Amino acid sequence: MSAKKAYDDVLRLMHEHHKWFNTSIPLIASENIPSPAVREALMSDFGNRYAEGWPGERVYAGCIYIDQVELICNDLARRVFRAEFADCRATSGVVANLAIYAAFSSPGDWMMAASIPSGGHISHGKKEHSGTAGLVHGLNIEHYPFSKEEMTIDVDATKKKIEEMARNGKAPKIGMFGGSLFLFPHPVKELAEFMHDYGMYINYDGAHVAGLIAGGEFQDPLKEGADSITMSSHKTLWGPQGGCIVSYARHAEPIKKAIFPGNTSSHHLHHVAGKAIALAESLEFGKAYAKQVIRNAKALAEALASYGFRLLGEKNGYTASHQIAVDVTKFGDGGTIEKELEKAGIILNRQLLPGDIKAGRHYMHPSGVRIGVPETTRLGMKEGEMKEIANFIKRVVVDKQDPAMIANDVAEFRKQFQQVQYAFDNAVKAYEYISLTGSR
Ligand SMILES: *Cc1c(COP(=O)(O)O)cnc(C)c1O
């Protein structure tokens, strides 16, 4: 392929992607659509600069405006998360977690975290699974006992496990809360004092739920006893891809060192500007958004249940977050169903559910799918639209209608939802392709 053809192909494929997303229903729980202002930040010259260090103490010149933006960003993060300290330089949620591991543990230490089928994230994982905590920082991992019925960590069994680990000379150094399949709050309040008595440091990984915490609609981990919150800036928090850490002033120094020089050199300054904009939007619109997200997730869950889908967390009303988990084994497996839905323009992902590994299921063909509503909510959809989405899903999965035909109906449905809501500006359409080259 000639250089020019490759160049043209990349531009064309990005156009195609925008067109596709503009006519689809985006239901990936870890994704969102940022505002035009955030997209503007990503195109700015900030993305071509270096600013190693802390504002005012940089290793590079040329940071006069960048410093001011970063100070605004950290100030907004402190206000949004009601925290004494914020560092928004982590270039992703994984980097934020790595910084916490580096700041508060040493290789060979033990950490408690949720297993992947219980909702944990690979960045909390064991070395033998190539999990970041084990592979990169050399932590040993013990998994929380998890209640499938309650879909959260089992408090009493966890206390017993920590006591036993301490007796065997494996007292854990870090208690990691939070996860990727995350329907209900984790018991931070119930375990914080116990863990602190064992000398544990408590981090809450709010990658998925940061936007809900910001809106005051999920749980308030710092108030409940966590020492820090790590997060992604682009899931329910609607910023550019990146990470952030909020904590107490007493932990500021080790966290700052672990971010730079420990885990970053460039910290992607265009993303810092984008995070600041997203945090300002969150301060203004975050509460209303978080409320609607949770209402939408519940409405989608109820509509799917009414079509005969089996949902996890039924006992507690299916969800208290932005996502729902559906056991699809009645209709096939998660991997196949994900592919069929994608053909219909319904974009979600397969999901390992609790018990899947024990049952010998592979992550390519797990028993479930995970559905999230952060993006559809940002596009302005409400409970009524959730019922329509449930109906599209039913037509593909239960009625086995032709996905290509449903894709047309999905595109028609999407026409009414073209703009980002909960934003100061929305002059440009949500998925409008902004060309700087005049390419078509
Ligand atoms: C998505 C996710 C991460 C990783 O975040 P990135 O920003 O993609 O690096 C970390 N932890 C949890 C629980 C997640 O769901």
How confident is the model over 24-50, as pLDDT tens digits? 999 999 999 999 999 999 999 999 999
Q: 232 CA to middle of ligand 1, Å?
A: 6
> What atom of ligand 1 comes closest to residue 120's alpha carbon?
13
How far is it, in rounded angstroms, from Cα 369 to Cα 338?
Answer: 7
Q: Which two tokens stand for residue 265?
A: 């050199």
> What atom of ligand 1 comes closest to residue 233's alpha carbon?
7
> Exposure of 56 by Cβ count < 10 A (0-12 exposed, 13-18 middle, 19+ buried)?
exposed
Q: 323 CA to middle of ligand 1, Å?
A: 15
Tally of CB atoms within 10 A around 79: 15
Q: State which of 121, 236, 271 you would mutate to test the pocket of ligand 1, scoring each by most atoms of that ligand within 8 A of its C-beta.
A: 121
**pLDDT in the model for residue 440:** 66
Q: Which residues of 334-373 are buried (b: 16+ CB within 10 A; e: fewer)?
A: bbebbebbbebbbbbbbbbbbebbeeebeeebbbbbbbbb
> What atom of ligand 1 comes closest to residue 235's alpha carbon?
1
* Among the listed residues 99, 84, 41, 49, the one whose alpha carbon sits nearest the alpha carbon of residue 267: 49
Ligand 1 pocket (Cβ < 6 Å) reads 30, 92-94, 121, 123, 178-180, 205, 207-208, 232, 243
Q: 109 CA to middle of ligand 1, Å?
A: 22
Architecture of domain 39-280: 3-Layer(aba) Sandwich (3.40)
Domain residue ranges of the chain, discontinuous segments joined by +: 23-33+285-414, 39-280
Q: Which residues of 290-329 are buried (b: 16+ CB within 10 A; e: fewer)?
A: bebbbbbbbbbbbbbbeeebbbbbeeeebbbbbbbbbbbb
Residues of the chain with pLDDT below 70 are 440
The partner residues of 143 in beta bridges, in order of sequence, read 113
Tally of CB atoms within 10 A around 213: 27
Multiple choice CATH, 23-33+285-414, 3.40.190.10, 3.90.1150.10, 3.40.50.1860, 1.20.1540.10: 3.90.1150.10
**pLDDT in the model for residue 242:** 98
- The pLDDT tens digits for 135-169 are 999 999 999 999 999 999 999 999 999 999 999 99
Tally of CB atoms within 10 A around 29: 26
> What atom of ligand 1 comes closest to residue 232's alpha carbon?
7
CB neighbour list of residue 197: distance below 8 Å, 6 or more residues apart: none
Is this structure's pTM higher than 0.85?
yes
Q: 140 CA to middle of ligand 1, Å?
A: 19
* Among the listed residues 129, 159, 134, the one whose alpha carbon sits nearest the alpha carbon of residue 144: 159
Contact 238, 33 (CB under 8 A): yes
Length of the chain equals 440
Q: 416 CA to middle of ligand 1, Å?
A: 31
Q: Which two tokens stand for residue 252?
A: 């500021």
